[in-house]
Structure 1
Amino acid sequence: MNTRNRRPRIGISTYREHASWGIWQLDAATLPATYVDCVAAAGGIALLLPPTGNASDVSDPSYAAETVAGLDGLVISGGPDVDPARYDEACHETTDAPREQRDAWELALLSAALERDLPVLAICRGAQLLNVLYGGSLIQHVEDHRGGVAVFGSTQVTLDPAALPGSILGPSVTASCYHHQAIARLGEGLAITGRAPDGRIEAVVASDRTFVVGVQWHPEQDRELRLFAAFVENAGKVVV
């Protein structure tokens, strides 16, 4: 339970894409509302953290550090593929075009959050990016982890009940998934705490941090409030 006089402030990274709504078609900072709703339902205040259009801002450690200084927790959201150049591999033919701004921004946010030992929940692309930050690599093409174009699939994840997130969710969970990439070489300092039936890595934790969890599935799509509540509760313990 958060014993402070305010709700934990949770930063959520966002897309920066060309989008349309109403009569408008513009570059926009966007995010599925499910992320915001889950943070709010878990007792936090959601603050959106889009990459700016200034390349020097998104890769500047001091800019990210100042941003993270105002937060109690960080969510790295799902989205397009991580640029394979980040883990020194050539681009597979199915890999998305690089989002260099977003990669740089989220890596800087993650680094700043880890430096402060802030609670981090890294979702889908976020888990992959966490692995890359720790020196790992990705499988660039995985079959059958989508339900179709813009349709979530479903997977059964076996979890270690003695470690996050299994200590919250139990030994297994049926989860929504939508990805065609996955963790390959595990980053040094991360531990595997969940796998899919095909053996793919589905959950990781940073062994040297209090609450840094990466999940390959989409708990926001499932409104898995147990995981969000535990994350926000830990954010409420951050000393300010």
Structure 2
Amino acid sequence: MSGSEARPVLGLTTYLQRAQTGVWDVDASFLPAIYIEGVNRGGGTAVLLPPQPGGTEVADRILDGIDGLVITGGRDVNPESYGSQRHPTTDEPMGERDSWEFALLNAALRRGMPVLGICRGAQVLNVALGGTLHQHLPDVLGHTRHQQGNAVFSTSSVRTVAGTRLAAIIGASSDGQCYHHQAIDRLGDGLIVSARDTVDGVIEAVELPGDAFVLAVQWHPEERLDDVRLFTAVAEAARAYTTERVSR
């Protein structure tokens, strides 16, 4: 295959926490396989990027070997990173993962590398750019529809903002599988809202305007693999990014 025909390599961030498999009960880096399937169906090849130390230098070396970055779902971002005290319902901080994803994201943004954020990934993007989060949506909305609990995803109807990258990818509206008790509050620098929940107006997607593909959704597109348009879009952007980089 030529460089332009090869499947782009997308790096996916992972969990780092306790996991059980067979007789083992250990700290582990892992990611649900459905994310990998989504990337594959969208035309990309997935590699996993487990949390580890090293900061900017290591992040840059990792990004040298991939074509695009996907910040995946997971536990809540440490509220100290956006200047807030921890709400009683907010997850225990996972400092290693937070630091790793901020380092990867900041390095990717400097390069103009394509970035797709999913659920937690949308919150990481917003916080990295100076934004804040609602730590517990039921306190704001008075209901738990966005996260019902017990691993049951709810379906949210979202409406995109005309003229955004997201609207060009999925059209005027879509249904998303949601499982989040937090959401974006104050927008990070440069970000624009590209979708909101049609019922209560919760921000469901943000993006950075411009040529670089930087888009994040609060819902879980990997839970609906009959529709891989977001994965296809980031894979195509990653292919174009690397083709341009090689041609320089």
TM-score (norm 1): 0.94
Aligned to 2:231: 228
Q: How many residues align?
A: 234
Aligned to 2:148: 147
Q: Does the residue aligned with 2:62 lie in a helix, a strand or coil? A: helix
- What are the within-5 Å matches in structure 2 for residues 46-85 of structure 1? 46-52=46-52, 55=53, 57=54, 60-85=55-80
| Partner of residue 201 from structure 1, selected from 200, 203, 211 | 203
More helix by share: 2
Residues 122-131 or 216-225, more deviating: 216-225
- The alpha carbon displacement at 1:207 in A equals 2.0
Residues 144-153 or 127-136, more deviating: 144-153
Aligned to 2:141: none
Deviations 1:152-185 (A, max 9, x none): 1110001024212111111110110000000000
Aligned to 2:43: 43
Deviations 1:39-81 (A, max 9, x none): 01111110000012xx4x2xx2111011111110000000000
- What are the within-5 Å matches in structure 2 for residues 1-240 of structure 1? 4-52=4-52, 55=53, 57=54, 60-143=55-138, 144=144, 145-196=146-197, 197-223=199-225, 224-238=227-241, 239-240=245-246
Q: Does the residue aligned with 1:220 lie in a helix, a strand or coil? A: helix
Q: Does the residue aligned with 1:232 lie in a helix, a strand or coil? A: helix
- The alpha carbon displacement at 1:22 in A equals 1.0
Residues 222-231 or 8-17, more deviating: 222-231
Gaps of 5+ in 2: 139-143
TM-score (norm 2): 0.91
Looking at structure 1, the residues matched to 89 and 7 of structure 2 have their Cα atoms a distance apart, in angstroms, of: 42
Would the aligned equivalents of 1:11 and 1:47 in 2 still touch at CA under 8 Å?
A: yes
Would the aligned equivalents of 1:155 and 1:175 in 2 still touch at CA under 8 Å?
A: yes
- The alpha carbon displacement at 1:146 in A equals 1.6
Amino acid at match of 1:96: D
Looking at structure 1, the residues matched to 45 and 106 of structure 2 have their Cα atoms a distance apart, in angstroms, of: 22
Deviations 1:187-207 (A, max 9, x none): 111000100121111110012
Any runs of at least 4 consecutive aligned residues in structure 1 with deviations exceeding 6 A, and if so which?
Answer: none
Looking at structure 1, the residues matched to 219 and 184 of structure 2 have their Cα atoms a distance apart, in angstroms, of: 12
Gaps of 5+ in 1: none
Would the aligned equivalents of 1:160 and 1:167 in 2 still touch at CA under 8 Å?
A: no
- The alpha carbon displacement at 1:29 in A equals 0.7
Question: How big is the alpha-carbon RMSD for the aligned residues of Structure 1 and Structure 2?
Answer: 1.3
Amino acid at match of 1:26: V
- The alpha carbon displacement at 1:149 in A equals 1.5
- The alpha carbon displacement at 1:226 in A equals 1.0
Looking at structure 2, the residues matched to 87 and 8 of structure 1 have their Cα atoms a distance apart, in angstroms, of: 33
Q: Does the residue aligned with 2:69 lie in a helix, a strand or coil? A: strand
Amino acid at match of 2:148: G
Paired-residue identity, %: 47
Q: Does the residue aligned with 1:237 lie in a helix, a strand or coil? A: helix
Would the aligned equivalents of 1:189 and 1:208 in 2 still touch at CA under 8 Å?
A: no
Amino acid at match of 2:171: G
